[in-house]
Structure 1
């Protein structure tokens, strides 16, 4: 018995495996969550399928002849690519973020980690709800905490209200005197002042998303965002900064899709720049064109760039003047470098949205709309410097002269100018999901409806993505969402997308 007692005294201590910790350091959880939000862990689930195969093609920034995969180009459910963001986010980043928030809340010293996590959660859910509409939100990602395996589907109206609240509270809570996770933060390296401005900048985007459905709230939240202070330069663009160690996890997920080290989509002509985009850039004398675009052999000569018409299948290609896909434009080599930053929201977009908020009378302290527009336009041109190249001063000056702000024009003229700039900016930064959401909200630029063979929308541009078919078998709450939002179709509008 004496022997037995001496043997069991440190039994639990001896049987704890030091290589399998029961808790993960909170900094690791923060870094992991940031990479997951960007999609670095699952580029196919976050970047390729929803961002490129669907949103980029739907919004007519990219096109493909691959009818079997690029469903967004043909308005079909091809290969179920429309489910990818939903299928990837919930078991990965949402679960990770909920766990991170739960752990950070347990210790007041981690208030900055908690605030960053709350902002990251908004960043992720903004995309999820804008893609699908009503989705699991308030109860999502909590199965490992409270065994809720069938979270309710929250109304998008309620999701937006909570996201705006979360941004506000997180911004206020950020503290320069509390613990700062410098090395684990791949966005601002722990700079809480920049994080605060980022929160208010995202708030401005979400506020203006309410412009048609709830203009009073759009005005209130826009004013709060500008009063709080938005990001101040291209250096403060909300982005994941990568080092590229050669692994997918530490590479820009959009670049990974096109780069030879990743999916190598460019080499097989999988996704190309669309005719709509290339023609627009050519007509506007856009100096970014020969930075972001090239033919298959690498030729970036502006006059040679050619966009593929959307809804062109293999048979339709044979009827075009140019029948060889190698001769159509695709993202250039500098644009698909694996170390490029993944951009969530740029300073240029913030300034362009500020111009809109001023024009609509939502903001009275942001200066002149024309000045905000000019700053946003110039910053958008310079944003491509993340690819190692910047348009010439003459090229940028010529572009500004050819595409001025219509200060004396109608509100529609001004909105067209603002949102055309955002459309081009989003294309040049692979921000296609945001481009689609912004187009649905603003209506600009004006796009032509297509009628591809076998489409599911009667020839109209899709307004949302459908829910994964697997949801019908695992979460009965999906029926509540459909009865509230409308039929689970590409043509059903989300809450803020008012006719």
Structure 2
């Protein structure tokens, strides 16, 4: 039943995004309620957004390669950064044609029905969507986004203004969630209507953004964290509270599993296999599968391999992602307890809080282990935490936190890539076969359709931000 409902709702969300005023007026069902319920739209819009976040184009074929979690064993052009201006359309089109209009409509419907929880939940998910977009592209439409009747060609807001605006949106979401007006909500496939978890998710997003801007505006970052504390706000505080979408069997399976049903292009990156092996990290068998060919082992493909180089290693001699990630029901993690602990450790290291950075760092690694069922009974966690290579270095917190956070964010390509750009650890190297003169992409290029459909605003954004290239650094990416 759950499988069928998700399928129907995803179709409804897509259908909604393509409707216009004229069609709405012509296709009126006299037997339908005048005020539609928002639950189907919430389910469909959420799933469409998470599918784009966790799927092939924005995750497997780009950000996971940039973060060197995954590599390509066939058709390696993307792993050598050979892209066109249509390569990065998916995140943009999903965000602006489905996600943001969908969440705006949910807010409208919730308000019409006197149900503030729909407003709160939709604001949190819309904020996360804007965060994905600006982290990837930089300057983006924000203030005029999703308001097609008013703004056919929306202006681009500066990345700084998007971050600051989203922070205010999240505060508004908390206000709405605290009101709890109405009779609860349906259609919530993240937290099943648990408003306390939604509030924790909202605060955890605020913390994420505070650190995203910390190198550019540390005073603002500290202010945000102080506000959360003053409000008595709580963060995600257990793996059971992770913001995630649990997938189902086909046709509602995890996008990673769906891809591997018909294609065999991807393997684990040699970079992360080598690092986990050197550290004796118990997450290696979770993240990677053993090779099919004897002697079996964990073998990664070097990022940026040519087709002939990758072919020489071979499909049977290289490691696919682990069975955990290939399971059709594997969750798409949006924000985890481990990430929150790493963020709190960094906030303490920066002097934004009085918490103990080292203790939080250890808790974060432990939480990441536990996320995959690796507790003290079946892992070497205590030995691992006390090893020289893993021990927290207060003199270089970015290195300690950056490297371990990169490991913990495995599979979350867009977030792992954003954090690696921000913290500059681990220090990844591009292959000589890549086409960006030794550089790794630091942004998505805008979809080519923006040049033709929103030309002047596109030109204004490029003039303000810099050339529309994979190598143009974004506002938050200081070093």
* Matched ranges for 1:230-249 at <5 A: 230-242=235-247, 244-248=248-252
Superposition TM-score, scaled by structure 1 size: 0.84
Aligned to 1:139: 144
Which stretch shifts more, 441-450 or 95-104? 95-104
Tell me what 2:187 maps to: 184
Aligned residue in 1 for 2:257 = 255
1:305-324 maps to which residues of 2 (within 5 A)? 305-317=298-310, 323-324=313-314
Task: State the 1:17 CA deviation.
Answer: 3.2
Deviation at 1:21, TM superposition (A): 5.6
SS at match of 1:330: coil
Do the aligned residues in 1 keep the contact of 2:115 with 2:180 (CA within 8 Å)?
Answer: no
Q: Does 1:368 align with 2:373?
A: no
Q: Any conservation in 2 of the 1:46–1:85 contact (CA below 8 Å)?
A: no
Q: Is the 8 A contact 1:156 1:495 kept in 2?
A: yes
SS of alignment partner, residue 325 of structure 1: coil
**1:481 paired residue number:** 461
2:83 to 66, 77, 80: 77
Distance 1:286 1:391, change over 3 A: farther
Rg bigger for which structure? 1
Q: Is the 8 A contact 2:85 2:446 kept in 1?
A: no
Following TM superposition, the consecutive aligned residue runs of length 4 or more in structure 1 with deviations greater than 4 angstroms are 18-23, 389-392, 403-407
- 8 Å contact from structure 1 (residues 53, 81) kept in 2: no
Q: 1:297 to 1:317 in 2, by over 3 A?
A: closer
Residue pairs, 1:344-423, within 5 angstroms: 344-364=334-354, 367-385=355-373, 392-402=377-387, 406=391, 409-412=393-396, 414-423=397-406
Post-superposition shift, 1:181?
3.9
Q: 2:428 aligns with which of 436, 447, 453?
A: 447
1:177, CA displacement in angstroms?
4.5
Q: What residue is the counterpart of 2:4 in the other structure?
A: none
Tell me the distance in 1 between the aligned counterparts of 2:165 and 2:258: 33
Q: Report how far residue 405 of structure 1 moved.
A: 6.1
Deviation at 1:215, TM superposition (A): 1.1
Match of 1:279 in 2: 274
Distance of 2:226 and 2:107 partners within structure 1:
28
User: Once the 2 structures are TM-superposed, how far is the Cα of residue 399 of structure 1 from its aligned partner?
Assistant: 2.0
Counterpart-to-counterpart distance in 2, 1:391 and 1:137 = 45
Hey, what does 1:5 align to over in structure 2?
A: none
1:294 deviates by 0.9
Task: Give the deviation of 1:462 after TM superposition.
Answer: 1.0
Query: CA separation in 2, counterparts of 1:88 and 1:130?
Result: 15
Q: Following the alignment from structure 1 to structure 2, what is the Cα–Cα distance between the partners of residues 245 and 198?
A: 26
Partner of 1:495: 475
Unaligned runs of 5+ in 2: 1-26
Equivalent pairs, count: 450
2:137 is the alignment partner of 1:154:
no
**Contact 2:74–2:307 (CA<8 Å) still a contact in 1?**
yes
**Structure 2 CA distance for partners of 1:82 and 1:391, relative to 1, 3 Å:** farther
SS for the counterpart of 1:272 is: strand
Q: Is the 8 A contact 2:300 2:318 kept in 1?
A: yes
Superposed displacement of residue 246, structure 1: 2.6
Cα distance in structure 2, aligned partners of 1:26 and 1:397: 47
Taking a change above 3 Å as real, the CA distance of residues 16 and 283 of structure 1, as seen in their structure-2 partners, is closer
Partner of 2:333, secondary structure, is strand
Which residue of structure 2 aligns with residue 341 of structure 1? 331
CA contact (8 A) 1:55 1:433 kept: yes
Q: Secondary structure at the match of 1:467?
A: coil
**TM-fit CA distance, 1:23:** 4.6
| 1:130 paired residue among 131, 135, 144 | 135
| Contact 1:373/1:418, CA 8 A, preserved across alignment | yes
Which one is further off, 339-348 or 177-186?
177-186
Q: How far apart are the structure 1 equivalents of 2:94 and 2:422?
A: 25
TM-score by length of 2: 0.88
